[in-house]
Structure 1
């Protein structure tokens, strides 16, 4: 496994891909503000999460809440939003389409 953190979800692989998002570049997990647990996507959190979905407020964007499934580096929300196309630690590509779903995770 590329990281030591637990990532919950449906069909989660070693690089945090799930049954909903499983292309080569789908390799991040997001720590949900409501429960403090990592999930690969909003759908996984809806299916097996805490049932109390809340987005990260802007005042908390310094918190580490995005996990690179390739190397295990935890990015702060601000860091992720600034460089959403690849991991600043290992340069693994992230799915640029994730930016379409930012509103599901971050204020």
Structure 2
């Protein structure tokens, strides 16, 4: 899948590029995958997804998951995710604090 803003094959971007920054998020408005909400181009805000919608992707293995599936590591390959991403959950998911 094409991850907009990615600077490497695992989906890291210029904003977040540590070893655990391998999560891409799908914008509910345009349906495209982005390395982060800051990589989303102007034109419309990053659209948060509803519960149950598969809109998170592991950049290490390509596993697509819902918010309920998204945890400290990928359920498919076990690659750890950045725990700080939870601070931005309100951007990516409806009815989510942050």
| TM-score, normalised with respect to structure 1 | 0.81
Aligned equivalent of 1:6: 2
Aligned position for 2:86:
99
Structure 2 runs not aligned, ≥5 long: none
Superposition CA RMSD, Å: 1.2
Bigger share in helix: 1
Q: Which runs of 5+ in 1 are unaligned?
A: none
Pairing partner for 1:52 from 26, 44, 52: 44
Tell me which residue corresponds to 1:16.
11
Query: Match of 1:100, SS?
Result: helix
Q: Please list every run of at least 4 consecutive aligned residues from structure 1 whose deviation after the TM superposition is greater than 3 angstroms.
A: none
Where does residue 36 of structure 1 map in the other structure? 31
2:67 aligned with 1:77, yes or no?
yes
Normalising by structure 2, report the TM-score: 0.88
